[in-house]
């Protein structure tokens, strides 16, 4: 394919995502997003002379002492937020047994969040990672910036295949000094056997501690991506499975009900451990599967959070 044709195809895909996600945001999510993310506090604006009816708790005693008459501090609501999207580009994201892969689904969900942030007049930044940070786009506003973010999520070609969530979070914590709303989009599959992190093993404990630290510095929500074929095996006889990140190959006889049941049971145990570790560290979780609509799940999460504010 010529470079010009490739560019046209990229622009067409980005435009399709923009149209689809913009419609979803307008129809379903704008109000829910806005009700949750209203600003993180109050910014100091000015000092003015006290007037009858003002809250005495706002008196600035230092200025009052200097001027020999009462002055109060005025504040304004801090409206501008920073939204950071951390998207896992490791090879396991290329898997999908339905109409789209986990990576494609992650890009679409992140696009919805980006457009929601734009309608709320928030800044949006992007960090793409595998087992290293692949690229970082600093937070900015504006449609052209959002389109660049979408283009990178859809078409960026990572150098590596593995996963290192800790490295991505530590990089974020170093680079962002002010508090941000952080969405981590990942399937959490990492390690030599594509394992979900377990809070009871050493590597898993490191991941959860880093997630907890990030949540204390920022406002972290994990969007956990999965595919139905990762939860249960089909009954199709001998099945060859390849770990997309390590290349390891395993053969399973899926005609054996005990093997299918053991696979499903082990996967559920891993999911339970993952969710327990996230809850213990106070991290919000939005589970998303490639075979189910995600808009209602996002809206319900925002609505529940709004009721807790």
Last residue of a domain, one of 77, 103, 138: 77
| In a shared domain, residues 54 and 96 | no
| In a shared domain, residues 237 and 211 | yes
Q: List beta partners, residue 76.
A: 43
pLDDT digit string (tens) for 49-69?
Answer: 888 777 788 899 999 998 899
CA atoms within 13 A on the CB side of 62: 2
| In a shared domain, residues 24 and 53 | no
To the nearest 10°, report the CA torsion of 160, 161, 164, 170. Answer: 30
Strands (E), the chain: 42-49, 71-77, 82-88, 123-129, 133-140, 181-186, 219-226, 238-242, 249-253, 284-289
Query: Given a cut of 60, is residue 300 above it in pLDDT?
Result: yes
pLDDT digit string (tens) for 179-198?
Answer: 899 999 999 987 666 677 87
| In a shared domain, residues 174 and 53 | no
DSSP 49: E
Better-scored residue on pLDDT, 268 or 7:
268
* Mean pLDDT in residue range 75-90: 81
| In a shared domain, residues 245 and 143 | yes
| In a shared domain, residues 147 and 286 | yes
Q: Which CATH number is 18's domain given?
A: 3.40.50.410
pLDDT tier, 7 (very low <50, low <70, confident <90, very high otherwise): low
Q: List beta partners, residue 86.
A: 127, 184
Per-residue model confidence (pLDDT) at position 103: 92
| 260 membership: H or E segment, kind and range | helix 257-280
* Distance from chain centroid for Cα 134: 16
| In a shared domain, residues 299 and 165 | yes
**Spatial distance between the Cα atoms of 184 and 286, rounded to a whole number of angstroms:** 10
Phi and psi, residue 243, nearest 5°: -75, 115
Closest CA to 184 of 202, 204, 210: 210
Per-residue model confidence (pLDDT) at position 20: 67
Phi and psi, residue 158, nearest 5°: -70, 155
pLDDT tier, 255 (very low <50, low <70, confident <90, very high otherwise): confident
Query: Given a cut of 60, is residue 209 above it in pLDDT?
Result: yes
- Identify the weakest region by mean pLDDT among 27-36, 106-115, 171-180, 250-259: 27-36
Better-scored residue on pLDDT, 205 or 203:
205
DSSP 142: S
Per-residue model confidence (pLDDT) at position 10: 59
Better-scored residue on pLDDT, 30 or 264:
264
Last residue of a domain, one of 58, 77, 96: 77
Domain that holds residue 63: 43-77
| In a shared domain, residues 177 and 259 | yes
> 162 and 192 in contact (C-beta within 8 Å)?
no
pLDDT tier, 291 (very low <50, low <70, confident <90, very high otherwise): very high
Q: List beta partners, residue 226.
A: 289
Split into its structural domains, the chain has a count of 2
Per-residue model confidence (pLDDT) at position 11: 64
Please report the DSSP string for 173-241 in residue order: HHH--S--EEEEEE---BTTTTBPP-TTSHHHHHHHHHHHHHHHHSEEEEEEEE-HHHH---S-SEEEE
**Spatial distance between the Cα atoms of 302 and 294, rounded to a whole number of angstroms:** 13
| In a shared domain, residues 49 and 158 | no
Per-residue model confidence (pLDDT) at position 186: 97
Per-residue model confidence (pLDDT) at position 182: 96
pLDDT tier, 211 (very low <50, low <70, confident <90, very high otherwise): very high
pLDDT tier, 235 (very low <50, low <70, confident <90, very high otherwise): confident
| In a shared domain, residues 254 and 161 | yes
> 79 and 141 in contact (C-beta within 8 Å)?
no
| In a shared domain, residues 53 and 190 | no
| In a shared domain, residues 69 and 213 | no
Better-scored residue on pLDDT, 138 or 248:
138
pLDDT digit string (tens) for 95-113?
Answer: 888 888 999 999 989 988 9
Per-residue model confidence (pLDDT) at position 166: 95
> 149 and 182 in contact (C-beta within 8 Å)?
no
Query: Given a cut of 60, is residue 309 above it in pLDDT?
Result: no
Given the structure tokens 């379903």, which residue do they identify? 28
pLDDT tier, 86 (very low <50, low <70, confident <90, very high otherwise): very high
- CA angle 239-243-247, nearest 5°? 110
């Amino acid at each position: 394919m010529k470079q010009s044709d490739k560019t046209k195809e990229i622009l067409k895909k980005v435009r399709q995502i923009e149209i689809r996600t913009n419609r979803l945001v307008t129809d379903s999510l704008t109000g829910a997003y806005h009700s949750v993310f209203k600003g993180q506090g109050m910014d100091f604006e000015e000092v003015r002379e006290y007037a009858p009816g003002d809250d005495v708790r706002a008196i600035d005693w230092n200025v009052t002492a200097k001027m020999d008459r009462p002055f109060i501090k005025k504040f304004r609501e801090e409206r501008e937020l920073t939204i950071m999207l951390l998207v896992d580009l490791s090879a396991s994201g290329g898997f999908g047994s339905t109409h789209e892969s986990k990576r494609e689904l992650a890009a679409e969900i992140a696009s919805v969040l980006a457009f929601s942030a734009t309608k709320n007049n928030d800044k949006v930044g992007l960090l793409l990672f595998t087992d290293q940070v692949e690229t970082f786009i600093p937070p900015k506003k504006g449609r052209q910036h959002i389109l660049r973010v979408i283009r990178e999520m859809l078409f960026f070609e990572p150098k590596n295949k593995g996963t290192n969530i800790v490295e991505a979070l530590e990089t974020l914590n170093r680079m962002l000094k002010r508090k941000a709303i952080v969405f981590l989009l990942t399937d959490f599959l990492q390690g030599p056997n594509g394992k979900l992190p377990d809070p009871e093993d050493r590597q898993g404990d490191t991941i959860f501690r880093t997630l907890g630290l990030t949540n204390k510095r920022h406002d972290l929500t994990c969007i956990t991506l999965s595919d139905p074929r990762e939860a249960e095996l089909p009954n199709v006889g001998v099945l060859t499975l390849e770990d997309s990140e390590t290349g390891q190959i395993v053969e399973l006889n899926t005609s054996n009900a005990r093997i299918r049941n053991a696979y499903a049971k082990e996967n559920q145990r891993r999911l339970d451990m993952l969710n327990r570790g996230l809850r213990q560290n106070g991290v919000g979780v939005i589970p998303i599967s490639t075979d189910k609509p995600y808009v209602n799940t996002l809206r319900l999460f925002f609505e529940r959070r709004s009721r807790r504010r």
